[in-house]
Structure 1
Amino acid sequence: MNARTDQDAPAGFVLVVEDEPAIAAVERLYLTKAGYGVEVVSDGVAAWDAIRTRRPVAIVLDVGLPGVDGIELCRRLRAEDDWTPVIFVTARDDELERLVALELGGDDYLTKPFSPRELVTRLRVVLRRVNGPATRGAIRLGSLELDPDRRSVTLRGAPVTLTATEFDLLAYLARSPGRVFSRQQLQSAVWGYADHAAGRSVDVHIAQLRAKLGHGSGIRTMRGVGYALDEPDAVAAPGPVG
């Protein structure tokens, strides 16, 4: 008998929301082989019920669903302060749709057709960011404090709610204050891969961080190069925290 590996252990329950049976079957097969428990639903209403009752560790969410589409479903989740990781999938390589999905709190985005192995890899990366053991202590930069163990952020003493991706992007910048990172460096370090859409994905998440941290966030743009994090303005009023 072969020795049991870490990948054989239960990896958590994943909800797949997909209205194309053939694609749903492939996603179920590969996610199950990777050790995840999987439930498949085909519309937004059924997905909402499953999320409320089953509490998945992550959601693989098709954008083009009948009734309540994936974008609206994610919007409702985030409005209820539910930050379950969401990986969007869509049949359209539409940059505007991608940006809207990320702005609403999506953690990643795949365009059909995609490799099911890539889906598994990206899911593991997202969940590792959320659940993986912290390798460093609290990060403090002026009035900004990040706790990797609790995955919490406070700015000037006020809590700031971030998605998994937003937290890891901010933490990566905060560990090297003042250093300018290119968009490709940030996506490789935070997302675990880099592709042709790296620039826009990073830009959207940076914009979301600035909106949540408010004026004086300390996030600096080096035009034509990338981004850096300086000490936040200690006197600026905090931005929205939800």
Structure 2
Amino acid sequence: MAANTILVIEDDPRIQKALHRQFTTEGYEVHLAGDGEQGLASCKSLKPAGVVLDLMLPTMSGLEVCKGIKKWSPTMPVVVLSAVSEVADKVLLLEMGADDYVTKPFSPRELMARVQAAIRRAQRPAVNDRVTFGNIAADFSGMEVFKDGESVSLTAHEIKLLQYFVENPERVITREELLNDVWHYTSYPTTRTVDNHVMKLRQKLEPDPAKPIYFRTLHGIGYKFVRGD
């Protein structure tokens, strides 16, 4: 896989130009494909780090291209460009295999953030569905967490946040990264969302929430998860 290559499958020259400029500014090598068949073939030959895919394409629809990419490489990050605005259709976009979507009109910077987040998720090392640290046991496949053998009630986002921490131990993680990768936000009017969820994890899982040993604050930066084993 070409770790620094982005494939843009888009037939609008204006969008091609805007995305080429945005991604090359961030140090990526950008390849352009103007129709579906060319895009699918280019994906297989280039093995890019990620794909930006328009739904409305000549020769082959974006839906067919996405299915073809995912059949060939299930973990290939694909972010779809779509004029779709209905919630039901957005769900369909994700069900067809897309890792994320951005609706038109869009900000190239927002799209870049979503592509980078999808690439990070794809490159994240696999972890066991069942993990333990200290007196905590988590079964992420079953969405269950236990403390001293007793079930702990966590919301879906608290479990997602916990899993993200467990998958990234001993690493400083910024609030913006958490908002991108856990919540899929790309604008940050406030970062209190992250702080409030970390506070809840501390209250429910730490031996002493006032003196956390698992979920540690890096002031001015973000957080670090330490197993404490």
- Shorter-chain TM-score bucket reads 0.5 to 0.7
CA deviations over 1:100-133 (Å, ceiling 9, x no partner): 210011111101111111011111111122225x
Residue in 2 that maps onto 1:75? 67
Residue in 2 that maps onto 1:140? 130
CA deviations over 1:142-171 (Å, ceiling 9, x no partner): xxxxxxxxxxxxx9xxxxxxxxxxxxxx67
1:180 partnered with 2:155: yes
Shift of residue 78, structure 1, vs aligned partner: 2.3
Residue in 2 that maps onto 1:90? 82
Aligned pairs for 1:29-48 within 5 A: 29-48=21-40
Aligned pairs for 1:86-165 within 5 A: 86-132=78-124, 138-140=128-130
Larger radius of gyration: 2
Residue in 2 that maps onto 1:210? none
Contact 2:83 2:103 in 1 (8 A): yes
Distance across 2 between alignment mates of 1:94 and 1:124: 25
Contact 1:11 1:35 in 2 (8 A): no
Shift of residue 96, structure 1, vs aligned partner: 3.6
Structure 2: gaps spanning 5 or more residues: 132-138, 147-151, 162-177, 188-229
Percent identity for Structure 1 against Structure 2: 31
Shift of residue 182, structure 1, vs aligned partner: 5.5
Residues 174 and 36 (structure 1), Cα distance of their counterparts in 2 relative to 1, 3 Å cut:
farther
- Provide TM-score, normalisation by structure 2: 0.58
Question: Secondary structure at the residue paired with 1:61?
Answer: strand
Residues 32 and 79 (structure 1), Cα distance of their counterparts in 2 relative to 1, 3 Å cut:
same
Residue in 2 that maps onto 1:54? 46
Structure 1: gaps spanning 5 or more residues: 1-9, 142-154, 156-169, 196-242
Distance across 2 between alignment mates of 1:137 and 1:81: 20
Contact 1:139 1:174 in 2 (8 A): no
Q: 2:182 is aligned with what amino acid?
A: V
Contact 2:84 2:90 in 1 (8 A): no
Residues 80 and 111 (structure 1), Cα distance of their counterparts in 2 relative to 1, 3 Å cut:
same
Aligned pairs for 1:190-229 within 5 A: 190-193=182-185
Aligned pairs for 1:13-24 within 5 A: 13-24=5-16
Residues 56 and 81 (structure 1), Cα distance of their counterparts in 2 relative to 1, 3 Å cut:
closer
Contact 2:43 2:69 in 1 (8 A): no
- Provide TM-score, normalisation by structure 1: 0.55
Contact 1:78 1:104 in 2 (8 A): no
